Structure 1
Amino acid sequence: TMMPTDSAMVTTNKVDEDIDLNGVALKGYRGGMEDSMISFLKSGGYTNAADDAALKDTWYTFDKVNFKMGSSTELEAGSQVQLDNLVAILKAYPDAKIKVGGYTDKVGDEANNVKLSTARANYIKSALEKAGVGAQVIGAEGYGSKFATVAATASDAERAIDRKMAVRFAK
C-alpha cells in the first residue's frame, strides 16, 4: 500500500471557515476558491487587468464541485454549496466576468474526454445562468486531458487532481 501524498493529506484536512464577501459570510476553505477569488476582486485585480490576456492564466479550481463518474449532469453531494457561493460572488461584483473550464485525467479516449469535459463546463455555465448570473459567464470550454499532469497508469486516487472544474476571470 502506498502512503498518501502530501496533496491528498492537505485535501482531507481542509476545514470550512467563514470567508468574508463584503460583510456576508460564505463557507469555504482558507486559501480555497472563494477566498482566492474574493481577495483578487477586493484588491482591484480584476478592475485593473488591462485585458483578457492579463487574466487567462489564473484559474480557480472548485474545491467541492465534482461530477459523478462519467456523468456531465449529476453532481456529487456537497457541490451545490460552492456553486451557490460562486453565484454570490458574481452578484456582489456584477462587472466581473468569468469563463468555465472542464478537465479530465489521462485515462480513456481523448475525444470522449474532451466531449465529457465540455459537457461538464456547459452544465456549470447553465447552472449559473439559471441562478441569474448568466450575463457574467462568457464562455465554457472542455480541455480533456490537455493539461493533465498525472500518468494514466497512476492510481485512480492519484489521478483525481486532474479531474476538475475551474473558472477564471475574463474580459
Structure 2
Amino acid sequence: MNLSATLLLAFGMSMDAFAASIGKGASLHKPKFSEALRTGLIFGVIETITPLIGWCLGLLASQVVLEWNHWVAFVLLVFLGGRMLIEGFRGENAEDTQKLQRHGFWLLVTTAIATSLDAMAVGVGLAFLKVNIIETALAIGCATMIMSTLGMMIGRFIGPMLGKRAEILGGLVLIGIGCQILYSHFYF
C-alpha cells in the first residue's frame, strides 16, 4: 500500500472518532486543549491497537471477527448514545447546571473501542495484503488522535450554543454511527 492509500485509510478510519469527539466536546463546559489532547490520545492509542488485533485475528479466524464486530460496535454505541440522551433529557436542577469539566477515563475508552471496531475489521482485511501493519496502524492512530483532538475543540464552540441539547446531539451522533456501521455491514 502506498503513502496516499495509507493516509486515506487512516483519515477514513478516524471519522467515527471525530464525530464522537465533537459530541464529547460539546457536552463539556469549555474543555481545555489538554482535555482535547487527552481524548485524542485515548482514541488514537485504541485506534492504533485495534487494527493490530484485527490483523492478528485475520491471520487466525477472520470469519468470526467479521461476523460479529458490527454488532458489538452497534450495541456499545447505542448504549453510550442512549445514556447521553437520557442525561440530556433530564430536567435541569442545581446540579445539572454545572457541566462536566472532563469525561471519565473509562467512558472515553469505551467510546473509543466502540468507534474503532471498524479499524479492527480493516486489520483483518490487511492480514491478507502485503502491508506493513505497524506503519499502517500508527498512521491510523495518529490520524485519529489529530481528528479526535480537533473534534473536541470544535465541540467546545458548539456546546455553548446548544446548551443541554449538546448532550442530546452527542447521543444521537453515537447512535447514528452505530446504525451506520450496522447498515453498511448489511448493505455494502
Q: Normalising to structure 1: TM-score of the pair?
A: 0.28
Question: Could you say which structure has the higher strand fraction?
Answer: 1
Relative contact order higher in (CA < 8 Å, ≥ 6 apart): 2
TM-score where L is the length of structure 2 = 0.26
